[in-house]
Chains A and B, each alone.
Chain A
Amino acid sequence: MNPTEKPEEKITPAVLNASKKVLCIEDEPFIGELYTRALSKEGYEVKLEIDGAKGLELAQTDQFDIILLDLMVPNVTGIEILRALRDPQKTPHLKAKIIITTNLEQREDIKEDIEKQADGYIVKAELTPKQLVEFLNNIP
């Protein structure tokens, strides 16, 4: 793709997202609250999970369209969750797009690894909840 051509920005109506399920694994409850609010407004169905281990279990047993994954979550870390979800033996039928949401700066090489395995990588402080929803709307 010629990068000078900007992809057309489509405003996705809430109706289109109505059937889309989001799992938000995030241990900071206020951030969870803000994300749930912004996503619900755009029609997404949001499941919020504070605990890493429970989050992984949910991701493996239930089907989601998008998983927002914080890297610093209790019990099982975000990186461990990411690895488990990308392991076809542990998670045979994963359909969800995995978006890493973090405020922690990683060492460049670790970050590269994470980015390779995930479908998106977001620094939470860089985006307001609305901007995050816009980002998710534009995921193919």
Chain B
Amino acid sequence: MANKSDYFVRTKRQYLLSLFLMMLASNFVLIAIWITIKNKLSLSTGEYTEILGMVAVVISIALALVLTNHLISPIKALWRLIIGITPNSSMPAPNIDKLKVGHELVANLTAQVIQLSSAVGKEVKGNEKDSNIDHNFIANNLPLPMFILDSGQNIIFANSHAGEYIGINSSDLTGKNFYMVMDMSFPSDNTLDSWMKKVKKDSATATMSWERVKMRVLDNHPTLLFDLAAYYNKDNPQDFESVIVLFDHTKQYSQDEQAISFIALSVHELRTPLTLLRGYIEALEEVLADNPNAELKDFMQKMSATAQQLTVFVNNILNVARVDNDQLELQLREESWEDIITSAVNNISLRAKVRGINIETEIEPNLPSVGVDRLSIYEVINNLIDNAIKYSGNSKTIKVKAHMSKEGLIETTVQDFGVGISQNIMPNLFTKFYRDHKNRAQIGGNGLGLYLCKAIITAHGGNIWVRSKTGEGSEFSFTVRPYAQLAAELKNSDNKEIVRGAHGWIKNHSLYRR
């Protein structure tokens, strides 16, 4: 409105100005005519001069008014026309036929304006038509499961494919909390939930996608494996805060699982004879317990140690396959670190003993309890001590030390005084199938152990590293977190334990879950 009145003020000013100029111009004309007449007729007009002057002024005003109105009228008509075509305008359309000046110009311009405005109008109308297409129709014909969530993570809409995919009627999904329906597991700490919390805090819109998301739907139903894409829009007026689309890859991804099944079956076939070997060795040891033959006892122990070593190797194969396929699951629970180290060392002491090696432990007193997966940590310690035994050379001592680090983590070191590791291979030490080629001939090993150790420790949220000098021995150290640190995480989730995978794989914990 302010613009409109402003426009009127300005037109009025221009109107008055042109009026004034017209008056001036017509005055000059009248004066010129008057002087010409006076000279030609040699009239003495003394007494009429004032009257004639006034008549001239009146005529000039009338002339100026008429001329100005005529000259301005085409512009006025165009102005009315343009105002008139804007939506919701009450301005009547101008009557072009009444124009005396610039009729043709205005008629042409009017035709142009009307043409243009109708073209724009069509476009607007066309859009309206498109937006009237049934959203459900599009969503249900989209051959992908799709969900629309509100800001409370509740499902506002799920298309029919979404319902079919997870085996729930899609109309039953509406109103349910998304995380209650979808119990997903992500291959890393970057879960949908954690991303959503982040973008809610600092973004207006955002998109993100994930690969290899796992979800178990029903008992006796294969686990679903899919990629997931999410779109987030904070300020959607209808509270359509996020759109989630799933891309099923169950078939492709489960081929990896079949590879695991093959390994699991092979491992089973290896374990059965191993169980028997260990069982009969133990029985034989009992039978021969009273036999004074020292050599016999020595042989028995070496057999037993070898069988144990094979058990570790078989577990390594299985666990490496799991790591590679994101299937290693860890259950982090509160444990006493001293207890774990002591029993792991006890477990392996026979293997050290048969090689004449003594394992010394130095555990800092009063270490806080740790949050670890007991069996996996046993495997780490087993592998590190096994390596220390293998590479001890003529040295007969291995040290296992544990203390609280400056960073508040529990740091454990397995130290040997054997052959050491040359600098050039250190960077690749934790890679799969990597081994010191120089030592390959003399020392057995499969290059899986350290790779597995790194995966397990990483999944625990810790670090693993090595210090070594050729000829002086090696120190492998790793950290695990105190339980108190994990307890804080547990507080925020409904789970009683933390489930983690080898690549930091974690369940989609959600604060929205009740």
Contacts and interface: CB of A to CB of B under 8 A. Distances in A.
Interface of A: 3-4, 6, 28, 30-31, 34, 37-38, 72, 103-109, 113, 123-126, 128-130
Contact of B264 (A37, A104, A128): A104
Contact of A125 (B314, B327, B333): B314
Contact of B283 (A72, A106, A129): A129
Contact of A3 (B264, B278, B335): B335
B336 A3 contact: yes
Interface string B260-280: 000011011001101110111
B311 A126 contact: yes
B495 interface: no
A130 B282 contact: yes
B223 A109 contact: yes
B329 interface: yes
Given A3-B369, A34-B283, A124 B264 contact: no
B275 A31 contact: yes
B282 A125 contact: no
Interface in B360-412: 369
A109 B282 CA distance: 34
A107 B261 CA distance: 9
A132 B335 CA distance: 22
A31 B279 contact: yes
Contact of A103 (B275, B279, B280): B275
Given A31-B275, A125-B278, A125-B314, A103 B336 contact: no
A124 to B, nearest CB: 4
B339 A103 contact: no
Given A4-B369, A124-B271, A34 B336 contact: no
Contacts of A106: 264
B80 interface: no
Contacts of A104: 264-265, 268
Main secondary structure, interface of B, reads helix
B272 A129 contact: no
Given A3-B335, A34-B276, A125 B369 contact: no
Interface string B318-346: 10000000010100011110010000000
Nearest to B321: A105
A72 B269 CA distance: 12
Nearest to A112: B329
B216 interface: yes
A103 B223 contact: no
Contacts of B336: 3-4, 6
21 contacts: A3-B334, A3-B335, A6-B336, A34-B276, A34-B279, A34-B280, A37-B283, A72-B268, A105-B267, A105-B268, A108-B329, A109-B223, A113-B219, A123-B271, A124-B272, A125-B271, A125-B272, A126-B311, A128-B279, A129-B279, A129-B283
B267 A124 contact: no
A113 B220 CA distance: 11
Nearest to A101: B275
Contact of A6 (B216, B257, B271, B339): B339
A125 B317 CA distance: 14
A125 B275 contact: yes
Interface string B291-329: 000000000000000000001001000100000000101
